[in-house]
A and B are shown apart, each in its own frame.
Chain A
Amino acid sequence: MVALPATRRRRVRRPSAREAGTALLFVLPFLLLFAIFRFGPATAGVVLGFTDYTIGGETGWVGLENFHRLVDDPTFWSALRVTVVFTVLSVPLSMLASLGMALLTRRAFRGAKLFRSVFFLPVVTSLVLAGVIFIWVFSDGGPWSRAMGALGLPAQSWLADSVLVIPALVLVSVWSRFGYGMLILLARLQDVPAELEEAALTDGASAWQRFRYVTLPQLRPALFFVAVIETTVAVQVFDMIYVMTGGGPVRASYSLVYLLYDQGFKYFDLGYASAIGVALFVMTIVVALIQRLTLGREE
């Protein structure tokens, strides 16, 4: 086994005031745009969560009332459950699919670029358009239910079943997202030194051992990145559900963002909608921190 040179800790020189000023000047445009278009609205959203803001009405400070309402709202808990189940199922599956496809297409073989492009295609396909097609795929008598029937399973519409609707949406989500993760992991895989695998091969490591002890540790930062991105996307799932199920049947696919959308843009209860947004934000941060502690920790 080839020993890698130990990483030496380099002393970092503190920049001078002039250097810092120059650097600040370069990042200033981004900082300004970020403050105006991201941080500002996000902060305003948090503040609105403590008000009873509705369109055209007088806005009053209501303290934690919206959050108390959230706790007492059975629809919130049901939407939270749907969001958590969807995230727990879709993120690992999406990552597995991304990893599998990245490993399959990492080697240079005839048509590799074509495969990579084809696998990436769903990422740039409109989810609304894809949703319309998948309604047909999962419909009663559609290809999916026929395939299930051929396998001896109940040939039914998965979108009409309270239990199967989430797995159906997860499949669509994985289909639409794995190409993105694949691309990130593929880029990282190209950077893994070939000598490492060759050395492991010389030492008699099996294919699984080479993957488990050589490739996978090298992929850890990329996997962490993909996990965070996929989780963020999954907890915000909305458009696909809106098109395919309308949150049904019987709210079995009614996610947190769907609830937020309804409260904000259908019922115009923007204070409450903002409180839901805050809850979603906190949830995303907590999950990202957990991922940071597990996948993202430094060796």
Chain B
Amino acid sequence: MRVRKSLSAVAVALVAALAATGCGGSGSGDSKKTVTMWIYPVIFDEAKHRAHWDETIKAFQAANSDIEVKTEIFPWANRDQALATAIAGNKGPDAVYLIPDQLPKYARNIEPIDTYLDDTAKSDYHENVVTSVTIDGKMMGAPILTSAATPICNKKVFAAVGQTTYPTSWNDLLTMAPTFKAKGYDMTAYAGDAKQTLNQTFYPLLWQAGGDVFSPDGTSVAFNSDAGKKALTFAKQLVDAGYVDKTLLTTAPPIEQTRIAQNKVACVWHVPLTEIEKFWGKENIQVVPHFTETRQIGYGTVGSLSMLKSARDKAAAGKWIAFATNAENTKKYDVASSFFSPRKSTGALYVGDPVLGEQEKHVATSTVGPLHEKARDVQGVLSPEIQAALLGKKSVEQALEDAAKAAAPLLG
């Protein structure tokens, strides 16, 4: 009897606890709307980053006192894992920072932002920036920054070798490479580890050769074209001739363990400027335009604030996103984070800066990569095949054909 009584008491307590927690959320009677935003360390210094958003929120609330904004800064690592599980559990934020690589995968969860931005704001964006965030004719996010991952060369290495000009094409790289090799330097680096996005490694070569990842209608892959073969053959030439460090073909060690950090590599195109600056020194960085083969092009990202469909108050979230990404706030954010502006009205942000000012000029020749729902899946089958070709386990043609065969079922 005593046991039964105790059990009843436990059950009553549980029900009471559940009821209490259940009532707590909705019945608080607070009319204040809340917008939650997830952001990542776009500004490396967390204190500065936090200060930027605190200041922006304060300015926003001065005109929108009924809307409370909460920002959470998450680490870059495993951000998709955290966001995807949060969305699946209906615990996602109202607004989130996304790049074009993520947009197609989250498209079904994103509320198009077009209707929340006024026409002036929309027409202020560079055309290629709008294209980079548009899926099925709708803007999936309000752009807040852009980048241009141009090749960067190490002046110290060039001085040590006695080379006075910098490469601007594949041909330049191949012509200069033997001199660098003879003096113990690598002409460049190729990051072949499967964790690396091809957007920053192989795809720039593919685009420069005049090729693309998908066919124009997106129903098949196109990387196995002549341009694709040319691009992979070029990468293989660099590997076979010993112009790159083979360790990076299969592993992704921390940069401080690499020859790049040891000032033994002449030029790279897959390492962010902010990361390399610590090892080379800003004064030793020479920005060069995206390499040219058939055309001059390279990778660059567009960071945007997107609203999730699960946003509790879409009007409030839309108002916040529009404010946070307006020209004035965009400019502040971009200067603080060393990125470039997606807006025309802000003008060039780094005129006179020998590094950022030079990179900023190449935003127009940068592309964000394919906005295809299966873009990542295709990278998953292509990446190991590229490794196989570079390690000499398959011919260039065979590797690309095998990758195309593996990609076909993914595209249905």
Contacts and interface: CB of A to CB of B under 8 A. Distances in A.
B105 A245 contact: no
Nearest to A162: B393
A251 interface: yes
A255 to B, nearest CB: 13
B250 A249 contact: yes
B251 interface: yes
Nearest to B258: A139
A267 interface: yes
Contact of B251 (A139, A250, A254): A139
B6 A25 contact: yes
Contacts of A264: 84
A139 B193 CA distance: 14
Contacts of A61: none
B377 interface: yes
Contacts of B376: 266-267
Interface in A261-289: 262, 264-268, 270
B404 to A, nearest CB: 14
Given A25-B7, A265-B81, A245 B251 contact: yes
Interface string B213-225: 0000000000000
Contacts of B381: 75
B250 A159 contact: yes
Interface in B192-206: 192-196
A160 interface: yes
Contacts of B109: 55-56
Nearest to A23: B3
A140 B257 CA distance: 12
A254 B194 CA distance: 10
A173 B72 CA distance: 36
B252 A246 contact: yes
B108 A55 contact: yes
B407 to A, nearest CB: 12
B93 to A, nearest CB: 14
B106 A56 contact: yes
Contacts of B388: 250
Nearest to A69: B409
A136 to B, nearest CB: 5
Q: Decide if the interface of chain B is mainly helix, strand, loop or mixed.
A: helix
Contact of B3 (A21, A140, A157): A21
Contacts of B108: 54-57
Nearest to A265: B81
Given A25-B7, A55-B109, A135-B253, A160 B247 contact: yes
Interface string B304-325: 0000010000000000000000
Interface in B92-127: 105-106, 108-109
B96 to A, nearest CB: 13
B62 interface: no
Nearest to A139: B247
B202 to A, nearest CB: 14
Q: Quick one: which of B253, B388, B391, B406 has the most chain A CB within 10 A?
A: B253
A46 B81 CA distance: 20
A239 to B, nearest CB: 11
Nearest to B83: A55
A245 B250 contact: yes
A246 B10 CA distance: 49
A209 interface: no
Contacts of B106: 55-56
Contacts of B387: 248-250
A266 B376 CA distance: 7
A135 B393 contact: no
Contact of A135 (B80, B87, B257): B257
B309 A246 contact: no
Interface string B238-251: 00000000110111
A124 B78 CA distance: 22
Given A136-B253, A265-B80, A248 B377 contact: no
Contacts of A270: 88
Nearest to A32: B14
Q: Quick one: which of B3, B84, B251 has the most chain A CB within 10 A?
A: B251
A132 interface: yes
Contacts of A67: none
Contacts of B249: 160, 249
Contact of B380 (A135, A160, A244, A262): A262
Nearest to B252: A246
Contact of B88 (A22, A55, A162, A250): A55
A160 B384 CA distance: 13
Nearest to B84: A55
A247 interface: yes
B81 A132 contact: no
B193 A267 contact: no
A54 B246 CA distance: 38
Nearest to B1: A18
A248 B194 contact: yes
B116 to A, nearest CB: 19
Given A139-B247, A157-B250, A250-B387, A242 B195 contact: yes
Interface string B378-408: 0011001101100101000000000000100
The 7 closest A-B pairs by CB, nearest first: A56-B108, A56-B109, A246-B194, A246-B195, A249-B250, A160-B250, A21-B3
6 contacts: A25-B7, A55-B108, A74-B406, A135-B257, A247-B194, A268-B84
Interface of A: 18, 21-22, 25, 28, 54-57, 74-75, 132, 135-136, 139-140, 157, 159-160, 162, 242, 244-251, 254, 262, 264-268, 270
